[in-house]
Amino acid sequence: MAGFFCRGYGPVIWLIGSGGMLGTELSRVFAEAGMAYTGTDLEVDITQGASLEDFAEQRGPFRWIVNCAAYTAVDKAEEEAALCRRLNADGPAHIAALAGKTGGTLIHISTDYVFNGKGIYSGDPPERRPYREDDPPDPIGIYGRTKWEGERKVLEGTERAYIIRTAWLYGRYGKNFVTTMLDLMRKRDRLSVVRDQRGSPTWARNLAEVITAFIARGEEGRAVPYGIYHYSNQGDISWFEFAQRIYARGRDLGILTGDCRVIPCTSDEYPSRVKRPGYSVLDKTRLKEALGITIPEWDRSLEAFLKIIRGTDA
């Protein structure tokens, strides 16, 4: 893939939140694809429109703005609601306003937490199906409510926006379920994991490649329609089943050497300040048809990730 540059203006892409798990992964994927970008993290305050405008004036204009910045501490959000709202709602509003003003295209990352996790039932007899982009949001906590508010503000601020909702994200560059499980499995001989929450694990690398595909299509003059899209790896499991697979493959690959028994428990038995969605499976049909891609199965992506972990630890 050829590198993309604005004539006389430098990088085409502004990656906001480049120091986080997804942002760091995106930085690597952009570099590998030869895509010119500039990344910012805490040095640009997304809650201040003037801070964003100053940076864009100095380093832009940018044809693409990718926003990976967010407040993601789900439990702590209940205590820090104002800060959570500034980062998840006010920040995206400022970014969208800037994109609308400068004519850039915004890619904003959102979450399955905009839904209540009860699922949507259809058919006769009724069966639960994955959430579609047009299903009504109904968040159950501060984190989910502020992310949904951020989505609305993005769509109000610019017509040139893609919102990508994802779920159960893990990767190399931040705290997440897979690396946490591996760490605990090295330290303990017994581990309880909830069995009544179901979703689709998502490797940050795969999501970064999808974001890159959106940009590449746009730069090639084949942009897909603006709006909301869902992305996670294919298939669905419970957290308990996910932990079981992490342990089994971790042992097979030599990442884990000790014994650890993974035990199922219910959400009620697991201490948490905020209720998590019981069902987080997202329908990816719209994205697959728009980009013409096949989405990797969750177990294959986990396998690839664990082999990278093994190589890093070796």
From residue 287, alpha-carbon distances to 164, 301, 312, 313 in Å are: 9, 18, 32, 35
Q: What is the pLDDT of residue 189?
A: 96
For residues 166 and 109, the answer to whether their CB atoms sit within 8 Å is: yes
Neighbours of 152 (CB within 10 A): 14
Q: Residue 41 burial (CB < 10 Å; 0-12/13-18/19+)?
A: middle
Q: In the beta sheet, which residues pair with residue 311? A: none
Inter-axis angle of helices 49-59 and 91-102, nearest 10: 40
- Please tell me whether the peptide bond between 271 and the residue prior to it is cis, using omega within 30 degrees of 0: no
Judge whether 155 and 114 are in contact, CB under 8 Å.
Answer: no
pLDDT digits (tens, 9 = 90+) for 107-139: 999 999 999 999 999 888 889 999 999 999 999
Q: What is the dihedral of CA 58, 84, 236, 106, to 10 degrees?
A: -20
Residue 125 CB neighbours (<10 A): 5
Check if 231 is active-site.
Answer: no
State in words which class domain 5-174+202-235+281-297 has: alpha beta
What does the pLDDT read at residue 273? 77
Task: Assess contact for 176 and 169: CB atoms under 8 A.
Answer: yes
Q: Which of 131, 143, 231, 247 is catalytic?
A: 143
pTM given for the model:
0.94
| The pLDDT of residue 2 | 33
Q: pLDDT by residue (tens digit) across 33-71?
A: 999 999 999 999 999 999 999 999 999 889 999 999 999
- Residue-wise burial string across 253-287, b where 16 or more C-beta atoms lie within 10 A, e elsewhere: eebbeeebebebeeeeeeeeeeebbbbbbbbbebb
**Please, what are the averages of pLDDT over each run of 10 residues along the chain (314 residues)?**
35 93 97 94 96 94 96 95 98 98 97 96 91 97 97 98 98 95 97 97 98 96 96 98 98 97 93 87 98 97 96 59
CA distance 265 to 259: 19
Q: Are 80 and 128 in contact (CB under 8 A)?
A: no
Q: Decide: 199 and 245 in contact? Cβ < 8 Å.
A: no
**The predicted structure's pLDDT at residue 312:** 65
Q: What is the pLDDT of residue 3?
A: 36
What's residue 274's pLDDT? 83
Query: What's the confidence (pLDDT) of residue 123?
Result: 87
* Element holding 113 (H helix, E strand): none
